[in-house]
Structure 1
Amino acid sequence: MLCGLLRKQTIWLRGNGLRTCQISPMTRCQSGIVGGSHPLHNYDQGWRSQENLSVCFKPYRCSIVPLCSPFVSGSSQSRTVYSSACLSAASTGNTGSAFGWYESLADTAPVNLAESMLISLHETSGMPWWANIICATVSLRTTITLPLSVYQMYILAKVENLQPEIDALAKQLRYEVSVYGKQHGWTDKVARFQFRKNLRRIISGLYVRDNCHPFKASLLIWIQIPMWIFVSIALRNISLNRADSATGDAVQKQLTEGGLLWFPDLTMPDSTWILPVTLGLLNLLIVEIFALRKIELSRFQKIITNFIRAVSIAMIPIASTVPSSMALYWVTSSCVGLAHNLLLRSPALRRVFRIPRSKSDSDTPYKDILSAFVLKYFPKK
């Protein structure tokens, strides 16, 4: 059992009398006295507020327990409040709050919404849980992230088409700065500064003119990553009977029998490592398809690409320790992402979505990807 410093208990005292008690409930804790607290005293018109912070974490969600009967010891001038908290933590001294942020995130509205969506879909469709997770993942990725992927492709194509104009203007600007610098005796450092400053201004003007600022292309990331996190935590909650639902026990029991093939129990990790390794390979494949584009990657893009490669490899051992329901969701999400990536390279589909044609476009994109992959990893000697 882990104890941190999250539960907030406030006791208002006037003189020696206990007046009111307010708490922010978290979970059911065993009755016990936790020493070593540090009350915070605030005085306002003779009233004293003592705030004692404590929390009890359990590996499952528990009901709310009122803590309005604390042990109060000492004189009225210097009282220490000992609240009901984790008895085992008092004996072991484990009062860290390393997992406090996760517990707070696991009980947020988006996570609760994801839990309700998954449970409602299962109850409505009657599908086994493995099919329910796959169906929910495909639906979310298709209805939310696919339109954002199309918009990202649209923005990136317009930015790419601006590059020849940017190059021409940069060449002209470099000449003008060189002439003006010689006339006014600029040093090379000042000339470079003026060139970069004015080039940024010109590029920003072009982005505004064509309404294609590259930051808009990152909208997909800002939506997809939080959604991935919320659904992952929701699956963990219902797998470990921590879901914000009155049917938590029943749902967890269904998950223990709702798996498929080599992972029949969705509440347990995949001991065969098939799902984790598949996840890593899929993510690496997505990264490589991006890296095999005709466009030369910038230094920053190369750094990001290598970072994502490292994350993809690191996700393999992580996926081997989480419930199979989470690993299945991650694998399905990566499969859908790979499918979207390949579909949006189709010239016909790009025309349907009105994505501008750019220099890097190909009439045979899949053949080009395969050729580039073979040339990079299986070069002829």
Structure 2
Amino acid sequence: MGSVSGVNSFIGSRSPYQDRRFCASGLMVPMSYGSSLNRNMSTDIGGGADKINYVTDVAEVLADKAVEAVASQAPALNEVAIAAADCYLPVKALMYLIDYVHIFTGFEWWGSIVATSIMIRLCTLPFMINQLKATSKLTLLRPKLEVIKEEMQNKGMEPAAVADGQRRMQELMREYGVTPFTPLKGLLIQGPIFISFFMAIRNMVDTVPSLKMGGPFWFTDLTTPDDMYILPVLTALTFWITVELNAQEGLEGNPAGETIKNVSRGFAALTVPLTASFPKAIFCYWITSNLFSLSYGLVIKSHAVKKALGIPIIRYSPPTSTEQKPALPFFETLKKYAAAQQHIAAKQSAASQQPALSSPPVEESRPTSQRISASSVLSQRIKSLEKEVKGRKKNKKR
């Protein structure tokens, strides 16, 4: 017992709450303070845990929102990627371009198609201006070509005259930097672009479900035809206005210009029944392209714009009432052209096979070849006349 009391007295003397040194220095701490301190510390720790749990919940919510945002964009990317997997390169490129515009601009699908159409048409603008320059040069060259053609007809389309006329025409075209196929440049540029756009949008309509909610106003669903026929009518109307205002630009005074205009008018009239079953997404490109062509034609008509771009200005004057020799029939012209080609080939082969002799014999051979060619032309004419006479006799007998 004495040992226990000694230990207790030792512990008691060393307790900071009972030590006389603490009491003497005024640092005497009540016995109940320890329990209150423990209670306050536990309360503070519990509040921090609540705050940590709250921050964790906020982080989880933000993470869920981020995942949802990424997931909302992932289907569109996967849709276009899957749709473009088996397409040709131009069609695939247009599909990806429309998709990139849709993602980076935030436009709806119809706005993305319109923006992509304007971008592509702006890229083709230099080619269109170059084609207009070439067409205008060919129109300016046309009177000179008509003079050569008339001279060939006055000479009876003899092979020598046709060969000489062809040579002069080629020299003139080389001088002006044009070819007979110059008017087809526009078709070769715009045609593939239109076909690629048509195929790209058509493929997206069939394989991208998000286009069902990608339109405004009455055509929200871009994958179905327009039951109100407003979009087909707008397409036909914008195309017809473009034809009436701009179809003959660069073809002033050219008889082919009026033919092109009439054919385009017929196509404008057939646009509504031919396109009534097309999905609405295609009209987003088609109407935009027509409006761009209309605006381009109105701007390019200005002489100041033509002068700035270096486009020749055509001052058209109506033809005078001078008597012109009627043109030969089509088949007769073909016969003359074939005879001229035979004459040129015979002349070239004779020049290549002829040995190197003195100049007089060469000069003597030219009249003989001309006589032979002239006799062949006469024989062809006689045969054609005989056929015509026989045909008339048969008709009379009937």
Q: Same-fold call, TM > 0.5? A: yes
Contact 2:226 2:276 in 1 (8 A): yes
Distance change in 2, residues 1:303/1:166 (3 Å):
closer
Indicate how the Cα distance of structure 1 residues 308 and 168 shifts in structure 2: closer, same or farther if over 3 A, else same. closer
* Shift in CA distance, 199/289, structure 1 to aligned 2, threshold 3 Å: farther
- Residues 1:202 and 1:122: Cα distance change in structure 2 (over 3 Å): same
| 1:160 and 2:117 correspond | no
| Secondary structure at 1:240 match in 2 | helix
Residue identity opposite 2:95 in structure 1: E
* Corresponding residue of 2:365: none
1:109 and 2:105 are equivalent in the alignment: no
Which residue of structure 1 aligns with residue 231 of structure 2? 275
Question: In structure 1, what residue type is equivalent to 2:92?
Answer: N
Structure 2 counterpart of 1:354: 310
Tell me if the contact between 1:235 and 1:326 (Cα under 8 Å) persists in the aligned partners: yes
AA aligned opposite 2:182: K
Residue 225 of structure 1, CA deviation: 1.0
Aligned mates of 2:312, 2:110 — CA distance in 1: 39
- The equivalent of 1:99 in structure 2 is none
Residue identity over aligned pairs, in percent, reads 25
Q: Which has the higher strand share?
A: 1
Give the partner amino acid of 2:130.
Y
| 1:16-36 C-alpha deviation (Å, 9 max, x unpaired) | xxxxxxxxxxxxxxxxxxxxx
Match of 1:237 in 2: 203
Q: Is the 8 A contact 2:243 2:261 kept in 1?
A: yes
State the alpha-carbon separation in 2 of the partners of residues 240 and 277 from structure 1: 24
Please give the alpha-carbon distance, in whole angstroms, between the structure 1 residues aligned to 2:139 and 2:97. 39
Conservation of the 8 A alpha-carbon contact between 1:128 and 1:258 = yes
SS of residue paired to 2:107: coil
Query: Which residue does the alignment assign to 2:185?
Result: 219
- For residue 206 of structure 1, report the CA deviation from its aligned partner: 0.6
Q: Name the TM-score, length of structure 1 as normaliser.
A: 0.56
Retained in 2: the 8 A contact 1:110–1:230?
A: yes
CA drift at 1:170:
4.6
2:222 corresponds to which of 266, 276, 296: 266
- 1:227-282 Cα offsets, whole Å, 9 max, x none, are 111111111111121xxxxxx4xxx22x2222122212111111111110111112
Does the 8 Å contact 1:319/1:327 carry over to 2? no
TM-score with structure 2 setting the length: 0.53
Superposed counterparts of 1:1-381, under 5 Å = 107-144=87-124, 146-170=125-149, 177=155, 188=156, 190-191=157-158, 195-241=161-207, 248=208, 252-253=209-210, 255-290=211-246, 295-298=252-255, 300-360=256-316
What per-residue deviation string (whole Å, max 9, x for no partner) do you get for residues 262-303 of structure 1? 2121111111111101111122222223456683442x5544
What's the offset of the Cα at 1:197?
4.8
Matched residues in 2 for 1:316 and 1:194: separation? 52
Contact (CA 8 Å) 1:161, 1:359: kept in 2 or not?
no
Give 1:151 deviation, angstroms: 0.8
| Contact persistence 1:115–1:238 (CA under 8 A) | yes
The CA deviation at 1:317 is: 2.2
Contact 2:246–2:294 under 8 Å retained in 1: no
CA distance in 2, matches of 1:279, 1:356: 31
Whichever residue aligns with residue 152 of structure 1, its letter is Q
Q: Cα offset for 1:198?
A: 3.7
Shift in Å, 1:172: 5.4
Q: Which structure: greater helix fraction?
A: 2
Q: Could you list the per-position Cα deviations for residues 88-135 of structure 1 after superposition, in whole angstroms to 9, with x for gaps in the alignment?
A: xxxxxxxxxxxxxxx9xx822211111111111111111112211111
Distance 1:274 1:194 in 2: 60
1:9: which partner in 2? none
Structure showing greater Rg: 2
In structure 1, stretches of 5+ residues that fail to align are 1-60, 65-102, 178-187, 242-247, 362-381
| Aligned partners of 1:344 and 1:350 also within 8 Å | yes
The C-alpha deviation readout for 1:158-190, integer Å capped at 9, x for no partner, is 122223433444555566x3xxxxxxxxxx5x5
Contact persistence 2:239–2:268 (CA under 8 A) = yes
- In 2, Cα distance between equivalents of 1:258 and 1:227: 23
CA RMSD of aligned residues (A): 3.2
Which letter maps to 1:358?
I
How far has the Cα of 1:199 moved from its partner? 3.0
Residues 306-358 of structure 1 show CA distances to partners (whole Å, capped at 9, x for unaligned) of 33333222221232211111012111111111111221111111112111222
